[in-house]
Chain A
Amino acid sequence: NAGVTQTPKFRVLKTGQSMTLLCAQDMNHEYMYWYRQDPGMGLRLIHYSVGEGTTAKGEVPDGYNVSRLKKQNFLLGLESAAPSQTSVYFCASSATGTGGTYEQYFGPGTRLTVT
């Protein structure tokens, strides 16, 4: 039982390049989330999904797209990377929405630098 995994762990992009971050969970969770964490800012929600085939915008969705074609996977795409997207990206999943008391399980993070 691996929990939540993220690939890649590190990545350096040049401005304008694109990439996809992959998140996978093996806990059969319905809900999945993508966050970014910047120093002094706390975790901010980018996009989330309440089930296979559904996605929704979070607090800071601009410049990102997501897809949830399979229940266990949640992909985050950057179409044209910008230096402002340099951050640590965390994926999380939970058994239900965070409106309940079920905890969120986080992946180990992806450290992305855009030059």
Chain B
Amino acid sequence: RKEVEQDPGPFNVPEGATVAFNCTYSNSASQSFFWYRQDCRKEPKLLMSVYSSGNEDGRFTAQLNRASQYISLLIRDSKLSDSATYLCVVNDRTSYDKVIFGPGTSLSVIP
């Protein structure tokens, strides 16, 4: 089993739709969780950290379920500019080489 798994998609959704991505991780010691966004042929950029109680940033909501070892990202009122690949990242804080990037989920928002 891969350490971090994501549905690769692609998710094709119309503008204004709500879309949710899930990410599962295998290391129960993981303590830090992030969502990064990567545009085509560009570098990844931090979208948001994921906190235990869940957190929201505008149209984006991230949630963590430690018992089931998954994190989620919800995007409301999708915009064309949301089209990108979303990378799930986990870290167990015990070693710098234990930052694990998921393979990413591709999102295309269609006019």
Residues of A that sit less than 8 Å from B by CB: 31, 35, 40-45, 48, 50, 56-59, 90, 97-101, 103-104, 106-109
Contacts and interface: CB of A to CB of B under 8 A. Distances in A.
Interface residues of B, number: 24
Contacts, number: 56
A44 B104 CA distance: 13
Interface in B62-111: 87, 91, 93-94, 96-97, 99-104
A42 B46 contact: no
Contacts of A43: 44, 87, 101
Given A42-B104, A58-B97, 10 more contacts: A40-B103, A41-B103, A43-B87, A43-B101, A48-B97, A50-B96, A99-B93, A101-B32, A106-B45, A109-B43
